[in-house]
A and B are shown apart, each in its own frame.
Chain A
């Protein structure tokens, strides 16, 4: 189920009540585990089996590899986990894509191959829980952590509903220890958790779905539309705001929900549109994914400790695979490749001009440049195909001169106000946290803002749209 649904309100209320009943800690954990399976099964019940497979395989593989002494045995158990997890991910997420490309390749070679019709439904959240469970066996294999001592705690780590389908991608060392001792939210944790949930749902329901998505859809959802300069930029800026509010909204709601139950989850966003440079951007955007890719892909590929060429190779490979992780399409690969090029370019510039200290104005301009170049990458992320991506990019460059206008004044105004507000807020808070900002405010405006956001959520009447990252 989605956080922005009536079903979730009832579900979460039941979970909160159960969690606050005077029951034993093990009983409460069993309640949470069952609730998490229900949360997942509410989408598509049969796919719970995949969760179970992933949980059981990684639990046993980690246990066996921790007990094994010979390196080849340890490697074999680790590989079993990797193969099973990536195999499931590959089949469900990339099966159709691989078949399409194979067919195209055969066609290019003059062979008219007719592929069998693959009607594979992507199990929601499979990328997220696959990465979470993989990090468990890999951490045990790399001797960073010992295996969990309790199967219930491990199963709950995999399935814990706040992070299950769209992250933040948690590591076992972040969550399993929290199940070791009884957890119940204090009064302030419960209240602040609820406040975070209101903020997260406001981002998703009001800003992303209510005001920004329609403008992005008007520009990107009709392949026949050729946008002029203003529409191409505003459609893309709308999407940049939409995807942030959608995903950061999910993370904030998830963090708030976990906090209401007495658990802590890590930040997944840190005001990314105030990034100065692309390495800074990736330390601020979808932090748990970028850190996962760094720890389990970039560093094992050699990182920056084996010479310049190897560094650039590792960087590009990581970003290309990161792009492919987002979706089985070459446009996502180009999106990742562009970020790889940006990161490589930034590394070169730093090697050359690392001594330069920009003043506040130059820093702001660099931030603006970073945001502009990130918007160029969003075109490939959002476009349905390369033809549309080029059309929008041509529009952004002012080359679609005779294009008819698309967005009306209300849409243009709303996008401009929301995106400008978002970027300014990120810039003002770039060296801070939400909590430190809230601590400095008078309670009255805080209450007014929360009440206003709750009203806007109800008045927007969200249609329970799925979160964008559910498709990845």
Chain B
């Protein structure tokens, strides 16, 4: 008699707990592996039959009081954790998540494709202040720079997007731009594949958590904090590699500046410097160990950039490269490992795009970079105020040249 799935009378199999062979015959020696005390049968104990409605036990405990106790403990621990990070100097702020990047990137597809867009690595992210840019130019740009990441994939992504018709500033941090390293490369994929639940999750995070909790920063995540405790012994022969600690404070539209702790806390600043210094010693990554390998790698990145720039300029998008300042040991490393002639000059030559190098402009020099790579918040404002007119002038030159070329072409076609 078949059982009906509208009732729960379908138990046709042996129900005794114990080891059952794969098709229902007790296995030889089954008693060896019997599980006395097993209080709940599963499908693995009932072969070849329609499975009955499962039964779930509720352990006889005062669950109301247990949950209340758990909630109180949770709240106490969270309060202590939040206080710990506020004491450390952190304030609630926005997360530099892939969702935040995707939100800004989406503006291009939703009616703001004619805006000025900033791409690059952390130097453009930290050093270009959107308020100052807006004050200098009348326009608030879209900030799409990604820390620790070459802008070449973003450049290619924008080149492939016909909705983008604005103006483009491309930041160049030599060790990232020309090596192709993309710590945040997943952000682009995230933008293209972001589903509704991820968009809602980002919105909830941005509005319900980020503005209120200082602990809610990836740098203060429990596994990260545990891992970087100083008391762990060093494994022999393993070079200790420290990850970058919190350096930035992010605004709602990714307007970002250097965290004040880096400026005011000498110990924290020294830590940030020592993290950069890890790259200045030891052998470079394999493709950069020989002059030929280096040249090939730099050439490949420049070619990718040139191809993308050509597509953008054909669409009427003016492009300007910007090399923000660096200082101290970081600058010395860049001079030695990525000399300007082999990188920056090559980039401008092959792309045919104009470039603004801080070494060429007095107004972009003499600024304070506490950890050699990023400007203080105050100097980032000064830098932006000086940079914006230079960039706009280059944009306008390209616009003018394009208009002239169009006029010439029209005149040539006129009989």
Contacts and interface: CB of A to CB of B under 8 A. Distances in A.
Nearest to A431: B35
Nearest to A258: B56
A279 B38 CA distance: 17
A436 B36 CA distance: 13
A426 to B, nearest CB: 13
A170 to B, nearest CB: 8
Q: How many interface residues does chain B have, given as a range?
A: 35 or more
Given A144-B10, A413-B232, A459-B222, A276 B47 contact: no
Given A191-B64, A280-B33, A409-B234, A177 B53 contact: yes
B88 interface: no
B196 interface: yes
Contacts, number: 301
A174 B54 contact: yes
Interface centre among B32, B64, B65, B220 (most CB of A within 10 A): B32
Contacts of B10: 144-145, 173
A290 to B, nearest CB: 6
A44 interface: yes
Contacts of A187: 63-64
Interface string A190-203: 01101100100000
> Of B24, B57, B74, B221, which is in contact with the most chain A CB atoms at under 10 Å from its CB?
B74
B59 A438 contact: yes
Interface in A184-219: 187-189, 191-192, 194-195, 198, 206, 210-211, 214
Interface in B7-54: 7-8, 10, 12, 19-25, 27-29, 32-33, 35-40, 42-54
A315 B44 CA distance: 16
B5 to A, nearest CB: 4
Nearest to A412: B235
Contact of A44 (B46, B69, B195): B195
B360 interface: no
Given A408-B232, A460-B222, A464-B198, A451 B70 contact: yes
A215 B204 CA distance: 30
A107 interface: no
B81 interface: yes
B238 interface: yes
Contacts of B70: 195, 198, 447-448, 450-451, 454
Interface in B291-344: none
Interface in B212-265: 215-216, 218, 220-223, 226-227, 229, 232-238, 240-241
B201 A195 contact: no
Given A146-B3, A280-B19, A436 B37 contact: yes
A295 B51 CA distance: 11
- Majority SS at the chain B contact face: loop
Interface in B331-361: none
For the complex, would chain A's binding face be called helix, strand, loop or mixed by DSSP majority? helix
A267 B17 CA distance: 15
Contacts of B49: 144, 295
A51 interface: no
B23 A267 contact: no
B4 A146 contact: yes
Interface string A1-26: 11001111010000000000000000
Interface in B189-209: 195-198, 200-201, 204-205, 208-209
Contact of A438 (B2, B61, B67, B233): B61
Nearest to A353: B29
Given A146-B5, A195-B66, A413-B232, A264 B19 contact: no
A410 B5 contact: no
A225 interface: no
Contact of B53 (A45, A174, A287, A303): A174
Contact of B66 (A41, A171, A443): A443
Given A450-B67, A461-B218, A439 B60 contact: yes
A240 interface: no
B183 to A, nearest CB: 14
B5 A148 contact: yes
A144 B221 CA distance: 51
B111 interface: no
Report the contact-size class of chain A (Cβ under 8 Å from the partner). 35 or more
Contacts of B8: 173, 177
A255 B236 CA distance: 45
Contact of B56 (A7, A211, A259): A259
Given A294-B23, A350-B27, A451-B73, A210 B50 contact: no
Contacts of A456: 222
Interface in A380-439: 404-414, 430-433, 435-436, 438-439
B3 A431 contact: no
B2 A433 contact: no
Contact of A6 (B51, B208, B215, B236): B208
A304 B204 contact: no
A458 B78 CA distance: 8
A357 interface: yes
Contact of A460 (B25, B33, B223): B223
B29 A356 contact: yes
B4 A145 contact: yes
B61 A180 contact: no
7 smallest beta-carbon distances between A and B, as pairs: A451-B73, A447-B69, A303-B23, A291-B43, A42-B197, A1-B197, A450-B70
Interface of B: 2-8, 10, 12, 19-25, 27-29, 32-33, 35-40, 42-74, 77-78, 81, 195-198, 200-201, 204-205, 208-209, 215-216, 218, 220-223, 226-227, 229, 232-238, 240-241
8 contacts: A146-B2, A195-B67, A270-B42, A287-B43, A291-B44, A410-B229, A414-B223, A436-B57
Interface of A: 1-2, 5-8, 10, 41-45, 136, 139, 143-150, 153, 171-178, 180, 187-189, 191-192, 194-195, 198, 206, 210-211, 214, 255, 259, 264-267, 270, 276-277, 279-280, 282-284, 287-288, 290-292, 294-295, 298-299, 303-305, 315, 350-351, 354-358, 404-414, 430-433, 435-436, 438-439, 441, 443-444, 446-448, 450-452, 454-456, 458-461, 464
